[in-house]
Structure 1
Amino acid sequence: MSEFIITTDENVYIPAEDSYLLAENLEIEAGQSVLEIGTGSGIVAMYASRLTDNITVTDINFDACELAQKNFKANGIENIEILFGNLFEPVKSRKFDVILFNTPYLPTENDEVIEDNLNYAFDGGLNGRKVIDLFLNEVPNHLNDGGIVQLIQSSLSDNGKTLDMLDELGFIAEIAASEHYFFEDITLINGYKI
């Protein structure tokens, strides 16, 4: 599935269908600045590195930051800045042309919460939107005019609400790609900042 060398870690999300749905549909032009939130293993950023050399990644899971660094090094990629922290906190007031996020979109009951760092990759709260809504409310502050946000979520976490929120925040939004699995559709939503 991937042409990259990928090491995995039990505490970090292992690249899956949603990772590749984003990685294979990137809308990045040469020279653009890219921010990926929640980089995990770093697979999406590695695909992005073929399109531009101005990439910053963040993750709230320190194990993920270390793993991404290891994977970048194994693939000879040296131009990705890795920052530890939650959502946009590590980039302060910086702005980017493209923002990517494979969100933690699974609706999660309290008894389904995992007691380790891997939980950050999945736990979307009761309605699957705990992190998505925080992210969307912040995204306009970090995206250049004419920029794009590309995010992955599930039909279980209300695609319509994401499209409506992006619309209210001044984006033109669409479902750009989707794949059906068992009881849900995994969707890629693109928001273009006007």
Structure 2
Amino acid sequence: MADFIINTDDNVYVPAEDSYLLADNLQIKEGQSVLEIGTGSGIVAMYASRLTDRITVTDINFDACLLCEKNFKANSIENIEILFGNLFEPVKNRKFDVILFNTPYLPTEDDEVLDDTINYAFDGGLNGRKVIDLFLNEVGNHLNDGGIVQLIQSSLSGNDETLEMLDRLGFIAEIAASEHFFFEDITLINAYKI
């Protein structure tokens, strides 16, 4: 895969290993509708745009919405809809074939919370699951039957909890890929709606 022009912003998550773990393992077929939650710089959506032309991205960080728009233009990508808002709020009554999310998965103590929009990118609450659980509880309402959820999280935020929760919600889920870093594994979980 060729590289993209990526502009960055101090208030937006800079693409890192977790971004590319998702981008390199996308399960998207031509013509499928895709939603990426928390698009940040837009890097994952740009890779997705090579596989389908029906992509919507959301971000709770308005700086991220502006930055991904700049990055899409810099790479002549015109087939991505950008919506500002938290999780599924901007797509209330819509369903998609593929939903992507590089979650804010870091366990974060109160004194580690930053008073800035970049905080949205990593702050997973005390157990790393604050946003993951909200996402999982809603994702089935926005996924077409036979669709797939691909999410990135850390072993620090409870991979087994995510797999068990997805199982309870009627998905078939698996750890599809992982990379080991100093004190954690970054994992890609694929969950299929049956």
TM, length-normalised to structure 2? 0.99
Residue type of the alignment partner of 1:142? H
1:193: which partner in 2?
Answer: 193
Residue 76 of structure 1, CA deviation: 0.3
1:154: which partner in 2?
Answer: 154
1:164: which partner in 2?
Answer: 164
1:124: which partner in 2?
Answer: 124
* Aligned partner of residue 138 in structure 1, secondary structure: helix
**Structure 1 residue runs without a partner (length 5+):** none
Q: Is 1:71 aligned with 2:63? A: no
Residue 2 of structure 1, CA deviation: 6.5
Residue 73 of structure 1, CA deviation: 0.2
1:17: which partner in 2?
Answer: 17
Matches of 2:181 and 2:32, distance apart in 1: 33
- After superposition, where does 1:46-85 map in structure 2 within 5 Å? 46-85=46-85
Q: Is 1:133 aligned with 2:110? A: no
2:3: which partner in 1?
Answer: 3
Where in structure 1 do 4 or more consecutive aligned residues deviate above 3 Å? none
Residue 55 of structure 1, CA deviation: 0.1
Q: Deviations over 1:8-48 (max 9, x none)?
A: 00000000000000000000000000000000000000000
Residue type of the alignment partner of 1:23? A
2:107: which partner in 1?
Answer: 107
**Structure 2 residue runs without a partner (length 5+):** none
Q: Deviations over 1:62-96 (max 9, x none)?
A: 00000000000000000100000000000011000
* RMSD, aligned α-carbons: 0.8
**Distance change (3 Å), C-alpha of 1:109 and 1:127:** same
TM, length-normalised to structure 1? 0.99
Residue type of the alignment partner of 1:14? V
1:41: which partner in 2?
Answer: 41
1:91: which partner in 2?
Answer: 91
* Aligned partner of residue 52 in structure 2, secondary structure: coil
Matches of 2:123 and 2:49, distance apart in 1: 28
Matches of 1:69 and 1:166, distance apart in 2: 32
Aligned length: 194
* Aligned partner of residue 191 in structure 1, secondary structure: strand
